[in-house]
Amino acid sequence: MADINTASIVAGRVYLVGAGPGDPELLTLRAVKLLQKADVIVYDHLVSPAVLDFVSPQAERIYAGKRRNEHTMRQEQINALLVKLALQGKQVVRLKGGDPFIFGRGGEELQTLAVHGVAFEVVPGVTAASGVSSYAGIPLTHRDYAQCCMFVTGHLKDGSADLDWPSLVRLNQTVVIYMGLGGLPEICRQLIAHGAAPDLPIAVVQDGSIATQKVVTGTLQDMPEKVLLAKLKSPCLTIIGDVVKLHQELSWYTPVQGASAN
């Protein structure tokens, strides 16, 4: 991490703000107010352009996006940047897709701020599991199908997908996988190998809650091929469990025909 002079602390503050799954109308009122008042916005790849429309024209915008194997800034650089801006007296919004505390590395960033004595506030956002499943018409905990729901990340810190497979194949639960598109064939293979039924329903949702949303449903056995045929690309959310059967019946959101992803 870059050297930071903590002797010059002034009244800067960092606001860790969840931007939700994409639809700007899912922002909290607190998030909108902060976007309109901040001096600097440090935002991620998963923040939709429509959300950035709320940012004050006077605010500085700094892109710190991270995609699979493509990082504009390393996490350590982002941490140092937030501290540096706050120590300059700036009011900084650290804007993250979904909710910053659910696979958003928000806790890591706040730990760095705390070490350097920087004041901060957390503004929760609608996490992708909740927002995307709602727009796909898939209730995660319908009592006829699931008594619990598990959120997991599709790749670990070292880039592997060595998950706790036995816990993911328990009956009467829904599993939501963040950032799992690249490893989907291996994920499906491992779940079947650990006892999941090959015909267990699964949905992969691209661009959930925005105009380019695409929902592909299938089974553990055929989903890898379906994803290839549909030419899905990140960001995607994967939902596994019998609740996926309700998609056709409860799907209510109609994406804009002809809309293209950025």
Q: Which residues are catalytic?
A: 44, 66
Tell me the residue type at 173.
Q
Model confidence band, residue 8 (pLDDT cutoffs 50, 70, 90): very low
Q: What is the pLDDT of residue 244?
A: 98
Domain-ending residue, one of 62, 91, 126 = 126
Q: What is the pLDDT of residue 48?
A: 94
Count of domains forming the chain:
2
Residue with tokens 């959120």: 151
Instruction: Collect all residues with Cβ–Cβ distance below 8 Å to 162 and sequence separation of at least 6.
Output: 156
Query: Does residue 140 share a domain with residue 120?
Result: no
Host domain of residue 51? 6-126
Residue 50 is assigned to a structural domain of this protein: yes
Model confidence band, residue 2 (pLDDT cutoffs 50, 70, 90): very low
Residue 43, CA distances (Å) to 8, 26, 236, 254 in order? 25, 17, 19, 28
CATH of residue 10's domain is 3.40.1010.10
Q: Give ∠ CA 140-184-27 in degrees, rounded to 5.
A: 45
Q: What is the pLDDT of residue 7?
A: 43
Q: What percent of the chain has pLDDT over 90?
A: 85
Domain-ending residue, one of 126, 150, 165 = 126
Residue 255 is assigned to a structural domain of this protein: no
Query: Does residue 169 share a domain with residue 215?
Result: yes
Q: 57-70 pLDDT, tens per residue? A: 999 999 998 665 55
Q: What is the pLDDT of residue 56?
A: 95
Q: 127-182 pLDDT, tens per residue? A: 999 999 999 999 999 999 999 999 999 875 555 667 999 999 999 999 999 999 99
Query: Does residue 171 share a domain with residue 117?
Result: no
Domain-ending residue, one of 74, 105, 126 = 126
Model confidence band, residue 11 (pLDDT cutoffs 50, 70, 90): confident
Query: Does residue 136 share a domain with residue 121?
Result: no
Q: What is the pLDDT of residue 67?
A: 63
CATH of residue 160's domain is 3.30.950.10
Q: What is the pLDDT of residue 262?
A: 53
Beta strand 148-153 pairing with 173-178: parallel
74 pLDDT more than 50: yes
**Which pTM does this prediction carry?**
0.90
Q: 28-52 pLDDT, tens per residue? A: 999 999 999 999 999 999 999 999 9
Model confidence band, residue 72 (pLDDT cutoffs 50, 70, 90): confident
Mean pLDDT, the chain, integer = 92
Rg (CA), the chain: 19
15 pLDDT more than 70: yes
Mean pLDDT of 76-103: 97
Tokens of 211: 């105009």
Strand arrangement, sheet containing 60-63 = 60-63, 40-43, 91-96, 13-18, 119-123
Query: Does residue 141 share a domain with residue 86?
Result: no
Q: 186-204 pLDDT, tens per residue? A: 999 999 999 999 999 999 9
Query: Does residue 65 share a domain with residue 122?
Result: yes
Phi-psi region of 68 (alpha: psi -120 to 50; beta: other; left: phi over 0): beta
Q: What is the pLDDT of residue 60?
A: 98
What are the backbone dihedrals phi and psi of residue 252, each rounded to the nearest 5 degrees, phi first? -125, -20
